[in-house]
Each structure stands twice: as structure tokens, then as C-alpha cells.
């Protein structure tokens, strides 16, 4: 069955021989192509005219917010979702909420992220840590092929057997290698899920220790996330909470597995059996034309081998010290950890936790002393991480890019970049420099 969203071409369907010679292709700074050949025409014209390119899918990445001279290729017109058995072909501009909705009719799901409006493009190319990461791995671990418009304007198909170097690099190497106009995934059968929400009154240390201990042994069906946030918006109620997803519609099993956490004083756990689509968070959109500029963020993220006691103490103290701070954790391991390190460009397959912590730099509320203190505390938390996860690195920091990959992967990514994009046409990303 095919879900053709307005103006969508899932990729390949509308493709025909002979590219559009789009001499007018660059007349406007913003482009919303509806076919792969249109994308190819735009790329060719831009390269010919040395015009910088920004590629936008869901629009949540830092480069989508920061204007730069050149053109924006907005892929929202390529957002079709085509289901054939368990193979799902998704246009490069789709968002995960639409994917989850379309797949629900088929009893299928793909592990993506936790938010409905995030793009398939950016999330997948960077890895994709989602609600089912322990059950099924990263978003990229479910990727079986892609259609790419390369820097030369050619349209290529890639998979484990066809241009395997390109396919490897797309799985974690970001938008460095071309415009992906179609992602092909192997989806999973999912009759339903169980979902736990544990509100934590008071100190979160005991809960984090219990979660750490539990996840060392827990079945892969269980993935948990922890968040402790100040009042922000309706999608993220203030306070500390632990969420648990069980990758089957078995609330009793989830209740039993989470008992060591639910039994801790001050923890109030509610267990439900929602549809997978319903646990994807809807981010509130700014009203009207008004664009809200998010405040700066001092902090960062890391993939950690272990959530040891010292790291837990540092995270709890960090959140307590700065009222406008956030702490997020996600459990890894399970299927995520079984993918051999060299199979994809994603770093740190031995990580068992992902951690993000930082404070908002709100003008008037945060002074220089506080900024310095936050930076020093974050430096302590950062110590010992295996790698940084590029998708949650919310600014362009060229010096940080090597820390987002293993040394071996970086060498390989440079080789692939020099083969497929030697002129660095695609550089508005965590850029691989040859």
C-alpha cells in the first residue's frame, strides 16, 4: 500500500531518463522539489554555479535554523511512505510521526526517535536512538537501502550489495554524501507495546542506580529513558521521570520488570498499553508567523560504557545546581550493542547509556560566573564518554567532529567522502573533511 502525502514522490516513482535541465533552478533561495530528478537538477545547477546548499528534512538540525548564503533544498515534497510486506520505502523529507501512523495500519513499526516532527532524513543519517533501541537497534540498523542524489547530480541506488561504501557511510555519517531522496527500511511487526511512566518525587539518585542495575540484566524488550527538566512546555512536564517501553503489549510483564524501580519511595508508576504512534511526542509549534529563537545551551552529550555512581552523582548535582538545566538519559545495549562496530559509521556500540545534560543560557538570568560553573561541571560529566552523538550536538563545531566517530570510522568516512563528494558540496552538517 502506498501513502502518497500531498506532492510526494516516495522516490524513484516519478523518476525518468534525462534530468531536468533546470537553468532557472536557482532563481529562488528556497526549493521544494517533488521528484528525484528535480533534486538532481537543483544539485547540478548549484554545483555549476558554486552555490552553497542546505538540505532540510524535518528541520530540527542546527543548519536548518541558521541562515546561510546559498539555497535551501526542503524535502517536504518527497514524503511518501510505501509499504510492501515489511519493506518500507520512505521519501527523504518525511517525518517520523507520519511514518508511525502509516505503519500502524499494517501492524508494523520502525525504531526511530521519540518525537513525531523529527525528520527521517536527519535522524536516520546520524543514527537514530529511539524508544525501541534495545529491542531493534538504531534507526540505521533497520535501513536496507537508499536512493541518493550525489554531488555530481547522479541518482544512485545503494544497499549492502550496491555501492556498499556509500551505504556504510550513510548509516551514521550524516548528510555528507548526497541528498537521500528515499530510505528503505526493514520494519518490525509490532502488535502493541506497554508503556510505563514513573514520576519521581525527590532525589533521583536511587532511581538512576536501580535503573542502571536493572538494565544490565533486563530483556531487550525494555528500553528506558530518564528526564529531569524545569517547566518548559506541555510536551515535557517539569520534574524527574523515568519512562519505560516494553516492545510487546504486555503491561503485566513490564510492571513486574520495573518493580525494583516502582518500589523506591517517592516513585509513582503508571502502566498503560498505548499504540506506538501515541508515545511519539508532539512538539508544540509556535503560533502564527512568530518564530521563537531557542536560548543557547551550555552542556553536551555522550555515549557511556556504564552509568557509574560517580556519573549519576554528577548528573543529579548538576540538575540541582542550575534551575534552568536539563538531564536526559536513554538506555542502550540489547540489539544496539550486538551490531558489530565496523558495520556502520555510528560510534560506541559498547555504550550502555546515552546522556545529555546542559543549562539554558537565558539572557538576564544567567551571568558569566554561572556560565563558567556550568561549563566546568559539564566538563566533569563529559569525562569518560566514549563518543559524542552528533544528532544531539546542536551547533556546528568542526573541531568536535572527530569525537563523533571511532578513529577507524573517521578514516573510512574520509575515503568515502573523497570518492562521492570530493568538492565538499554537502558541508552543512557535521562535516567530514578529507
Are 36 and 93 in contact by the 8 Å Cβ rule? The answer is: no
The footprint of ligand FAD on residues 37-76 (CB under 6 A) is 55-61, 63-64, 75
- Please give the grid coordinates belonging to residue 357: 545534560
Which one, 127 or 403, has the nearer CB to ligand FAD? Answer: 127
Choose the binding region for ligand FAD from 16-24, 126-134, 191-199, 240-248 (rule: CB under 6 A): 126-134
Report yes or no: 80 and 8 within 8 Å, Cβ to Cβ. yes
Interface with ligand FAD (CB under 6 A), residue total 34
Select 80 or 210, whichever has its Cβ closest to ligand FAD. 80
Nearer to ligand FAD, 61 or 97 (CB): 61
Minimal distance, residue 138 CB to ligand FAD, in Å: 8
Q: Segment near ligand FAD (CB under 6 A), from 14-22, 107-115, 210-218, 251-259?
A: 107-115
As beta bridge partners, residue 358 has 299, 326
State in angstroms the smallest separation of the CB of 350 from ligand FAD: 18
- Give the position of cell 550513510: 170
Q: Which three cell numbers stand for residue 38?
A: 528535480
Residue closer to ligand FAD by CB (options 121, 403) is: 121
d(CA 324, CA 361): 8
Give the range of 18-26, 116-124, 205-213, 398-406 binding ligand FAD by CB under 6 A. 116-124
Q: Is 302 in the site for ligand FAD (CB under 6 A)?
A: no
Backbone angles phi, psi at 125, to 5 degrees: -65, -25
Does 77 sit near ligand FAD (CB under 6 A)? no
Spatial separation of the C-alpha atoms in residues 240 and 195, rounded to whole Å: 17
* Pairing, β 71-74 against β 30-31: parallel
Least spacing, CB of residue 168 vs ligand FAD, in Å? 16
> Measured from the CB of residue 60, what is the shortest distance to ligand FAD in angstroms?
3
102-178-46 Cα angle (round to 5): 115
Binding mask 149-188 for ligand FAD (x = CB under 6 A): -------------------------xx---xx--------
Q: In what order do the strands lie in the sheet with 296-304?
A: 267-272, 194-200, 239-246, 222-229, 325-331, 353-361, 296-304
Q: Segment contacting ligand FAD (CB under 6 A): 97-105, 108-116, 187-195, 205-213?
A: 108-116
**Residue among 11, 33, 77, 128 that touches ligand FAD (CB under 6 A):** 128
Cα 130 to the chain's mean position, in Å?
8
- Contact positions with ligand FAD (CB under 6 A) in 200-259: none
**Could you say which of 41, 76, 122, 153 contacts ligand FAD (CB under 6 A)?**
122
Closer to ligand FAD by Cβ: residue 267 or 345: 345
SS3 content of the chain, % helix, strand, coil (to 5): 30, 25, 45
What is the grid cell recorded at 311? 556519573
SS3 for 275? Answer: coil
Cα–Cα dist 313/321, whole Å: 12
Contact between 113 and ligand FAD (CB under 6 A)? yes
Residues β-bridged to residue 147: 157, 182
Burial of 243 (0-12, 13-18, 19+ CB in 10 A): middle
In the list 80, 130, 334, 403, the residue contacting ligand FAD (rule: CB under 6 A) is: 130
Least gap, CB of 110 to ligand FAD (angstroms):
13
Q: Which residues contact 304 (CB under 8 A, 6 or more apart)?
A: 311, 351, 352, 353, 354, 355, 384, 385, 386
Based on CB atoms, which residue is closest to ligand FAD, 295 or 370?
A: 295
State which of residues 41, 76, 126, 145 lies at the interface with ligand FAD (CB under 6 A): 126
Q: Which residues form the interface with ligand FAD (CB under 6 A)?
A: 55-61, 63-64, 75, 92, 113-115, 118-119, 121-123, 125-130, 174-175, 179-180, 283, 391-392, 428-429
Amino acid at each position: 500500500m502506498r501513502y502518497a502525502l500531498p506532492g510526494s514522490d516516495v522516490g524513484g516513482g516519478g523518476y525518468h531518463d534525462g534530468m531536468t535541465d533546470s537553468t532557472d533552478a536557482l532563481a529562488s533561495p528556497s526549493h521544494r522539489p517533488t521528484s528525484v530528478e528535480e533534486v538532481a537538477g537543483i544539485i547540478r545547477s548549484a554545483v555549476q554555479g558554486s552555490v552553497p546548499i542546505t538540505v532540510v528534512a524535518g528541520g530540527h538540525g542546527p543548519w536548518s535554523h541558521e541562515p546561510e548564503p546559498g539555497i535551501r533544498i526542503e524535502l517536504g515534497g518527497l514524503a511518501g511512505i510505501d509499504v510492501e510486506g515489511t519493506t518500507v520505502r520512505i521519501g527523504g523529507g518525511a517525518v517520523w510521526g507520519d511514518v508511525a501512523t502509516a505503519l500502524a495500519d499494517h501492524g508494523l513499526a520502525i525504531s526511530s526517535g521519540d518525537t513525531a516532527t523529527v525528520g527521517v532524513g536527519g535522524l536516520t543519517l546520524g543514527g537514530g536512538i529511539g524508544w525501541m533501541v534495545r529491542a531493534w537497534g538504531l534507526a540505521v540498523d533497520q535501513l536496507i537501502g537508499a536512493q541518493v542524489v550525489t554531488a555530481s547530480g547522479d541518482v544512485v541506488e545503494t544497499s549492502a550489495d550496491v555501492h556498499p561504501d556509500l551505504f556504510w557511510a550513510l548509516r551514521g555519517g550524516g548528510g555528507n554524501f548526497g541528498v537521500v531522496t528515499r530510505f528503505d527500511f526493514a520494519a518490525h511487526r509490532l502488535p502493541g507495546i506497554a508503556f510505563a511512566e514513573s514520576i519521581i518525587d525527590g532525589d533521583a539518585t536511587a532511581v538512576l542506580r536501580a535503573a542502571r542495575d536493572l538494565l544490565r540484566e533486563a530483556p531487550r524488550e525494555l528500553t528506558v529513558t530518564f528526564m529531569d527538566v524545569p517547566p518548559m512546555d506541555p510536551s515535557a512536564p517539569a520534574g524527574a521521570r523515568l519512562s519505560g517501553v516494553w516492545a510487546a503489549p504486555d503491561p503485566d510483564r513490564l510492571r513486574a520488570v520495573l518493580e525494583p524501580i516502582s518500589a523506591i519511595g517517592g516513585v509513582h508508576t503508571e502502566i498503560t498499553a498505548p499504540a506506538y504512534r501515541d508515545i511519539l511526542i508532539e512538539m508544540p509549534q509556535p503560533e502564527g508567523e512568530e518564530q521563537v529563537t531557542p536560548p543557547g545551551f551550555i552542556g553536551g552529550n555522550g555515549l557511556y560504557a556504564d552509568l557509574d555512581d560517580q556519573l549519576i552523582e554528577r548528573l543529579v548535582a548538576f540538575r540541582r545546581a542550575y534551575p534552568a538545566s536539563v538531564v536526559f538519559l536513554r538506555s542502550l545495549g540489547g540489539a544496539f550493542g550486538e551490531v558489530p562496530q565496523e558495520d556502520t559509521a555510528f560510534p560506541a556500540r559498547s555504550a550502555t547509556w546515552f546522556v545529555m545534560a546542559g543549562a539554558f543560557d537565558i539572557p538576564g538570568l544567567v551571568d558569566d560566573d554561572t556560565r563558567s560553573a556550568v561549563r566546568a561541571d559539564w566538563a566533569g560529566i563529559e569525562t569518560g564518554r566514549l563518543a559524542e552523538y552528533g544528532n544531539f550536538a546542536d551547533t556546528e563545531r568542526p573541531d568536535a567532529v572527530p569525537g563523533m566517530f571511532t578513529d577507524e570510522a573517521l578514516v573510512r568516512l574520509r575515503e568515502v567522502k573523497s570518492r562521492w563528494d570530493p568538492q565538499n558540496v554537502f558541508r552543512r552538517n557535521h562535516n567530514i573533511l578529507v
